[in-house]
Every structure is written in C-alpha cells, then in structure tokens.
Structure 1
Amino acid sequence: MGVEIAVTGLTKTFGSQTIWRDVTLTLPAGEISVMLGPSGTGKSVFLKTLVGLLKPDAGSIVINGRDLTRLREADLYEVRKLFGVLFQDGALFGSMTLYDNVAFPLREHTKKTEAEIRRIVTEKMELVGLSGAEGKLPGEISGGMRKRAGLARALVLDPEILLIDEPDSGLDPVRTSYINQLFVDLNAQIDATFLIVTHDINTARTVPDNIGLLYHKHLAMFGPREMLLSSEEPVVRQFLNAQTIGPIGMSEEKDADELAAESGQELPPLPPIALQLATSDGQPRRAERPAGAWCRDNGVTPPPGSFESRNAGIPGVRVEVG
C-alpha cells in the first residue's frame, strides 16, 4: 500500500540561483502522478529533494506524520527504505551481472539468506520481463532492458513510494509504450505511490492519475489528469498539447517581443482527452477513476471527441480506438 506525500512551501536554491520556490502539493497514496516541465526547471532536483538526497532551503515533506526535512540522518535513512528510485540511465553497476545489480539492495540493507535473495530477485526480474537475462552485463543489453533492470532493483525492497526519473530518456516510442504499460500494471499489483518525471506528452496524457507542471521557478498547477488536460491556463495548455503559441519558447521564458507578436492570436482548440491507459488484464486499479468523472463533477465540458480512444489528441500519434 502506498503512502501519501504532503509537500508544503518547498523552496530550493543553489547559491544565488532559485530552482523553484513555495512548491505545495500532495501526492495521493497509491496513485500515479507525473511531473512535467521545460528543461532546466528542476524536475530531477525535486525528486532528489523528496528522497532526502538534497536538503531544501524551506518547506516540509511529510510522510507518515514525519517531516523528512527535519529528521536526523539515522531516521532519514530508515524513512528512505519506503522509497524505490529508478534513475534516468538505470544507474547499474557495469561490472555486475543484472542478477547481482538487482540483488545489491537486499545484500546491502537486509540480512536475508542467498536463497531468499534468489527468490526475490527472480520474482522481480520476472515482473519486469527479464527472466533469462540474469547473467548478462549492463553493457550487453539494450537501453530499454537496462531501464527494466533498474526498475527491478528499485522494487526488491517492496517500496511504498516509487520515484521514476525520465523513464523515456533514450527509448524509442514503442519501448516507451511498453514501459508505460509496465508502470500501470505495477501500480495495480503493488499499489505503491508513483511519481514519474518525464517530457513525453503521450505518457503525461495517458498514464497518470495526476499531473503537475513546474515552470519558471514555481509549480504552475497540480491536480487530477482531466483537470490539467482541460485547463485554459496558458503554460499548462501549451505544454500538454505541444503548441508553439504560449509563454514557453526556445528559452525557458519567451521575451516580451515574442509574446507581444502572439497577442491577439487565437489559440488552437484543445484536443480531445484520451482514455487513460488500462492494465494489461483489464482489471481496474484502485486509484482509477471513470473516464470523464472529474469533468462531470466539476461542471467542465471536455473537448469534443474526448474519452473515445487511448491516443485521442496526442500530437504525432495515430488514433487507436479502444
């Protein structure tokens, strides 16, 4: 069972540079959340701060009634056992086989026997589709397999919180789709709290229960998937729908001349909201909401054609009904 993470007034700086300030959100227990944002907005820094690898300048991160920002190192070490982390490149030890990479946290943090470790490692590698690859080295496998091996390692201590940094980095669209399906299936099986940092619009529009957007040193918005996908907030609308009109330019923020040139231009209509990705076996996840429920409950009329396909309105994706 996942746990809730309550973040309040979080601020992080490096010297005179503010990364983001006053970030406040709640990651609901057992749900999948995605954090988006243009490059350089501190998404990876946010993940590292959540797990206590970086200390914020202000604010709190409360898990199970304990504020991580105020814990002693020994207590923080214990709370970190709630977390599993999948880094961008898998962060595997190049000289170790996949089996030994996945077994490493168990050997480092538990007193389990090798027989127990073998059972757990075999189970997790099967879960991510790597059965039979236990003896391979990271350099002998594809990027997608390295991601899955990193995911297996993140799962061996049965975490209640899973932090995933740029899972689509270096992967082609087909393998990104496979790993997205794996996240949805895993969430249904282990009921952990997921936070995925990504740039992939398809992932953001179809995988999560909640979406957040970091922009210009603050959290522009965080909430249920349908709330953001139907939002008229310019930066949210522009980013989630891959539009050129809006405050985001080639640099993090457009200059005044660009914005003035765009004033008066009619924004493209919002694309249809796609159906959320379902589990492979069709069984509902605990956190899953009926399609259109948020819109109905909040009196919001979704764009025409919403909830008719998995890929509706996703730039560059062929529509696939069902």
Structure 2
Amino acid sequence: MGVEIAVSGLTKQFGSQLIWDDVTLTLPAGEISVLLGPSGTGKSVFLKTLVGLIRPEKGSILIEGQDIVRLRGDDLYEIRKLFGVLFQDGALFGSMTLFDNVAFPLREHTRKSEKEVAAIVHEKMDLVGLTGAEKKLPGEISGGMRKRAGLARALVLDPEILLIDEPDSGLDPVRTSYINQLFVDLNAQIDATFLIVTHDINTARTVPDNIGLLYHKHLAMFGPREMLLSSEEPVVRQFLNAQTVGPIGMSEEKDAEELAAESGQELPPLPPIPLQLPTSDRTPRRAERGAGVWCRDNGITPPPGSFASTTAGVPGVRHGVGA
C-alpha cells in the first residue's frame, strides 16, 4: 500500500531566483495525484525535491514520520527505497537491452540471484505490456515503449510511491491514452501513491483523484479532482479548461494592460466534468470516489452535462463506488 507524503512550507530557489514558495499539500496514501502548471514553474524540481535529489531552502517533507529534507547518508538512501521514478525521457541506458535496463536496480540494490532477478523483470515487463521485447535496445523501439520500459524499471523494487515526470511528452494522443490507462490499472493493482507531472489537460481531467496547480511561484490550489474542475478561481479555471481569458499569458503572467483589455469579457462556461477513467476491467480502485460525490457533499452544482453517463436516481452521481 502507498504511503502519505505531507509537504509543509516548502520553498526552493536557485541563487536569487525563487522557484516556488511556501508549498503545502498532502498526497494521500494510495491515490493518484496530478501536478500541473505553466512551463517553467518548477514541477520537475518539485519531484526531485520530494525524492531528496534537491534540497529546499525551507520546509519539510514527511514520509512515515521522517523528514526527507533533514535526512542524510544511509537514512536518506533507505527512505528512497520507497520511491520509483519514471523520468521524462525514460532515462534508459542506450547500450543495454530492455531486460538489463529493467534489471539494473535489482542488481545494484539487492542481492537477489539472477534467477530471481529474471522472474521479477519478466513480471514487471508483462505488467506494462512489454513481454517479448526483452532483448531489444532502447534505440530499436518507439517512444511509448521506452516510457513503458522506464515504468517497468521504476516498479522492480515494488515502490510505495511512484513519481512520474511528463509521461505524455513526445507521445501521440493514442499512446497517451494507453499509458494513462496503464497508470490507473497499476494503481488498482499495487495501491501505490502516484504523483504525475503533466501538461496534458485530458490526463488531468480524467485520471487523478487529486489535482494541484503551481503558478506564479506558489501552489494555487490542491485538492480532489472535482473541486478543481468546478472551481471559479481564475488561474485554475483558465488552465484546466485551456482558455485564453484569465491571468495566464504567453509569458506566464499577463500584464496590467492585457488584463484591463479583458475586463468585462464574459468568461466561457465551464465544460462538463467527465467521468474518471475506470480500470480496464472496471474493478473499483480503493481510492476511487463516486462521480459527483465531492460536488454533492460540498454543495457545489457541477457544470451542466457533467457525469453524463450516470444512471437515473441521484442527478450527477454514478451509482456504485463511493456513491
């Protein structure tokens, strides 16, 4: 089962350049969270900080009662064993076969026999749909297959936390859909805590249990998917609905003149909230909430047409899991 990550007051800067300040959020154990934000807002830096590769200037990151920010040496090495990381480009060794790439963490960090290593590698490669590709080199396969090989490698030590950096980068929409489905299915199977950094709005709207948005050097909002998809907060509304009207411009923030020109414009309506992506076999995930439940419990009327495939009975609520 995944573990909770409690981030409090996290601040990071490089020299005089502030990346983000006073970031506070809790990634719930076993749930899928997505982190969004305009380019250059420090999303990848945040992932590296969570795993202890980058030290923040202030704040804490508590995992199982230990603050990663203050750990050093063997203690940090041990807590890192909870993590699996899928880097943006897969980060595979070009001269190694996929089998050897996936086996690398096992050979480096465990004393398992080659027979045991082979069994685990085959299991994880089967899990991500790469059975039969073990002898291929990274240069011989597609970008989507490289992503899946990187994911298999991230899974071999049975992590309780998976950090995933822009899995849709370089992938076409079909392969992005496949890898999104894989994340949902994996979460159901291994119950790990997922944090996915992405720019893909469809991924953010349909995959996670929770969404966070970094903007203008701070965390604009973090919470359940339906909370952000129904939010009227200008930055959240603009970004999650890919709209041009709002405070975000081509260079991150619009200037006063641009904002003044937009004043009085009628905002486009919020689009319907889609159903969350289910597992392939429709088996409920432990963290899955019923569609519309958060809105109902918080007295929020979702945009018209939300949860359109729900059954009759309670408007906007899918009957079954969490309803």
Pairwise same-fold verdict (TM > 0.5): yes
8 Å contact from structure 1 (residues 274, 309) kept in 2? no
Report the equivalent of 1:83: 83
Residue 174 of structure 2: aligned partner: 174
Per-residue CA distance 1:137-163 (angstroms, 9 max, x = gap): 000000000000000000000000000
Code of the aligned partner of 1:223: G
Residue 93 (structure 2) aligns with: 93
Mapped pair 1:202 → 2:202? yes
Q: What CA distance in whole angstroms lies between the structure 1 residues aligned with 2:257 and 2:169?
A: 33
Q: How does 1:261-272 map to 2 (within 5 A)?
A: 261-272=261-272
* Aligned position for 1:71: 71
What's the TM-score, normalizing by structure 1? 0.96
**Corresponding residue SS for 2:228:** helix
Q: How far is the alpha carbon of 1:73 from its aligned partner? A: 1.9
Give, in whole Å, the separation in 1 of the partners of 2:29 and 2:15. 34
The 10-residue stretch of structure 1 (214-223 or 65-74) with the greater mean CA deviation from structure 2: 65-74
The offset of 1:74, in angstroms, is 1.4
Amino acid across the alignment from 2:16: S
Tell me the amino acid that sits aligned with residue 53 of structure 1: L
Aligned to 1:149: 149
- Per the alignment, residue 225 of structure 2 pairs with 225
TM-score (norm 2): 0.95
Q: Which residue of 2 aligns with 1:277?
A: 277
Equivalence for 1:313 = none
Partner Cα separation in structure 2 for residue 72 and residue 212 of structure 1: 28
Match of 2:49 in 1: 49
What does residue 308 of structure 2 align with? 308
SS at match of 1:220: strand
Instruction: Return structure 1 stretches of 4+ with deviation > 6 angstroms.
Output: none
Task: Provide the residue aligned with 2:321 in structure 1.
Answer: none
- Structure 2 counterpart of 1:122, one-letter code: H
In structure 1, stretches of 5+ residues that fail to align are 311-322
Residues 104-119 of structure 1 correspond to what in structure 2 (within 5 A)?
104-119=104-119
Give SS of 2:38's match. Answer: coil
Report the Cα distance in structure 1 between the residues aligned to 2:252 and 2:266, rounded to whole angstroms: 22
Name the amino acid aligned to 1:169: S
* Paired AA for residue 232 in structure 1: E
SS, match of residue 84 in structure 1? strand
* Number of residue-to-residue matches in the alignment: 310
Match of 1:191 in 2: 191
Distance 1:222 1:252 in 2: 19
Note the C-alpha offset of 1:308.
1.4
The equivalent residue for 1:137 is 137
Residue by residue over 1:275-298, the C-alpha shift from the partner in whole angstroms, topping out at 9 and shown as x without a partner, is: 000000010000000000000000
> CA–CA distance in 1 between the matches of 2:72 and 2:144?
37
- Point out where structure 2 has 5 or more consecutive residues left out of the alignment: 311-323
Q: Which secondary structure does the structure 2 equivalent of 1:60 belong to? A: strand
* Alignment partners' CA distance in 1, 2:49 and 2:38: 19
Aligned equivalent of 1:13: 13
Q: CA deviation at 1:309?
A: 5.0
- Residues 25-84 of structure 1 show CA distances to partners (whole Å, capped at 9, x for unaligned) of 000000000000000000000000000000000000000000000112210010000000
Matched residue type, 2:40: G
Amino acid at match of 1:243: Q
Deviation at 1:259, TM superposition (A): 0.4
Q: Is 2:290 the counterpart of 1:290?
A: yes
